[in-house]
Amino acid sequence: MNRLAILIDGNNFYKGCQLNFNRTDVDFRKLGQKLAEALSADLLRIYYYNAHVSPKIDPLGYQRQQKFFDNLRSTPFITLKLGHLVYHRIRSDQAVSNQYFPTEKGIDVQIAVDMIRLGLLKSCDGIVLVSGDSDYIYAVRFVKDLGANLYIASFPQGGSNELRNEGDGHILMDYEFIHECFIRPTPYMRHESIPTINARPAYHQGQDQNESYDRFMQDRPMPQNKYNFRSEDYVLPPLPPDDLPGMYEGEEPQTPTEETTEEDDSKES
């Protein structure tokens, strides 16, 4: 195998890092080179997929995410592809609240289409899908039917076993494999000893979000590094270190949308 393309599901990768290593400061170019070395291939390109945080609903998260995206845009051999977040109002039996819950839109479709495109065009000799999401199983099967070699890279915990078995091979991204890709060298902690804190709560409209975030952190013990948020209940894209490298090529980002219905507006009025 000569040329290798790597497709990274950003949000799935971020949650996997948190679950397995309690940190997310990964140099994606080093990770791509490590995956290519594991398959004795030359790295053609890394495609990194993520979704925009709304600057209106989460300005703090938006600012930190933009710094991360800017760093990705400056790194060779990395293409950044963006979807968007749709924010749903949290409803109860009594009323509609002023809180929102975000969900990703457009990411899984982009990844599936790009895998098929690479397979049809014979742009590379092999494809690595970095994800543990079982939603990609049918796309993986189709790409293999096109004659492409497709491999799955995932973490020890949290990934789909069915997806792992669908690939032509599986790369286990355990600590021994990925530790050289971390930006800040820190001692490895066993997952059982990792302190857990709740995810950042959703914000109320009209509330000062920085003050709300500060009060939230004052009431809880700080983890051992400041990027250690658990995101199982608050599905936002990664908020990695400011100095993380990377590069941009591709479409302009879509403007985040907020889903509201006429029923919501009548309840609020």
pLDDT in tens, 104-117: 888 999 999 999 99
What pLDDT score does 1 carry? Answer: 61
Indicate whether 268 belongs to any domain. Answer: no
CATH of residue 78? 3.40.50.1010
Give the pLDDT band (50/70/90) at residue 99.
Answer: confident
Indicate whether 224 belongs to any domain. Answer: yes
Indicate whether 262 belongs to any domain. Answer: no
Give the pLDDT band (50/70/90) at residue 262.
Answer: very low
Give the pLDDT band (50/70/90) at residue 186.
Answer: low
Indicate whether 261 belongs to any domain. Answer: no
User: Whose CA is closest to 41, among 128, 145, 153?
Assistant: 128
Give the pLDDT band (50/70/90) at residue 242.
Answer: very low
Q: Which domain holds residue 22?
A: 3-253
Domain total of the chain: 1
Query: By the 8 A CB rule, do 103 and 88 touch?
Result: yes
Any idea of the CA torsion for 189, 21, 152, 80, to the nearest 10 degrees? -150
Indicate whether 266 belongs to any domain. Answer: no
Rounded-to-integer distance, Cα 242 and Cα 68, Å: 6
Indicate whether 247 belongs to any domain. Answer: yes
Rounded-to-integer distance, Cα 6 and Cα 15, Å: 18
